[in-house]
Amino acid sequence: MDYNLYESASPEMLAEIIREAESILDEQRTVAIAADQRAVTFAGLLVAAIGAMTGAIASLGGRAPLAIVAVATVLSIAASLALWSARPTAWRFRGNAPSQWTVDVIGERDLHSSMAEMAAHYDAAWSVNNRSICRAAWAMRASLIATGTGLFTALIWSWWFVLSH
């Protein structure tokens, strides 16, 4: 078996490590749920806007201004990024199924060693969750930037169109 740093912790310190690890795993879940809700809601708004723009483009036939098509395209990319942000990902939760303690029970491992293994397990779980959160945040950030760019482009085009006609 590999060396586990947590085995060198005192029982009190190990209990605190486990308590805080469970707390941060719960907080990661809360953040992830909120981020997914935000991403899905934002994607829904973008899809509605894209639908309206696509209807306008279709009603104009082949005479739709390129700017409208460009903005609809940028918003489509932004919606795709927001949906990617909310996709199901690898996720680790706190706790273990009772069957995962079988080796500990049969092998008559002491509780301290078992808890140290749990601390190492939680450390790995935090890392997996953190990667998922960071990737989703990157995609949502990119979606917001694309949306802002598309809206800014639409605003500039609108002013140019109004002032030039």
The whole-number pLDDT of residue 1 equals 54
pLDDT on residue 3:
86
Average pLDDT for runs of 10 along the chain of length 165: 88 97 97 97 97 93 86 96 95 92 87 95 97 97 97 90 89
Residue ranges making up the domain that contains 18: 5-164
Report the domain count for the chain.
1
| CB contact at 8 A, 42 and 142 | no
| pTM assigned to the model | 0.85
How many other C-beta atoms are found inside a 10 Å radius of the C-beta of residue 68? 17
pLDDT at 108: 76
